[in-house]
């Protein structure tokens, strides 16, 4: 299974606001924000993946794997049903690489961070009036 982790770090202002709320709300906010960010990468990776049967696109998934106060970790990965994804991503001796996961992460990094920050701000404003 090919996996790529997305680690997001907020700006000082967003983290300062986040630190003023209780741990339960922090976890909820971070989980939602990191899910929004990882779905951006997941969608772009699906769009970039070579299409033959559609199995590879359907196997690209994202999930939140860790949420604690002040920290959240999401993963975008290709499920086992498309075990050959690593050969597509990195190529083989007989097949050129057709990267789809790494470019999706690299080229959406700014968009992901913006979405994470705005999601955190929006939820904090709505739920805690911050």
Q: Is the pLDDT of residue 2 over 50?
A: no
pLDDT at 9: 53
Question: In the chain, how many domains are there?
Answer: 1
Tokens coding 104: 């999706």
Identify the pLDDT of residue 10.
Answer: 52
Q: Look at residue 113 and tell me whether its pLDDT is greater than 70.
A: yes
CB 77 within 8 A of CB 89: no
Q: Is the pLDDT of residue 1 over 50?
A: no
Residue of 65, 10, 2 lying closest to 38 (CA atoms): 65
Sign of CA dihedral 106, 108, 111, 115: negative
Q: Which residue has the tokens 């992460």?
A: 105
User: How far apart are alpha carbons 109 and 105 in whole angstroms?
Assistant: 6
Q: E strands within 33-120? A: 60-68, 71-78
Expressed as residue numbers, the domain containing 45 is 3-128
Could you tell me the pTM of the whole model?
Answer: 0.85
Which comes out higher in pLDDT, residue 57 or 7?
Answer: 57
């Amino acid at each position: 299974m090919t996996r790529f982790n997305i680690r997001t770090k907020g700006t000082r202002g967003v983290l300062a606001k986040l630190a003023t709320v209780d741990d339960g709300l922090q976890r909820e906010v971070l989980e939602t924000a990191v899910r929004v960010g990882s779905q951006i990468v997941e969608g772009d990776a699906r769009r970039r993946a070579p299409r033959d049967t559609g199995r590879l696109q359907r196997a690209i998934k994202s999930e939140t794997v860790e949420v604690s106060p002040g920290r959240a970790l999401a993963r975008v990965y290709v499920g086992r049903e498309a075990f050959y994804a690593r050969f597509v991503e990195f190529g083989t001796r007989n097949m050129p690489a057709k990267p789809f996961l790494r470019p999706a992460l690299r080229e959406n990094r700014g968009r992901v961070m913006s979405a994470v920050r705005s999601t955190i701000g929006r939820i904090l404003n709505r739920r805690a009036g911050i």
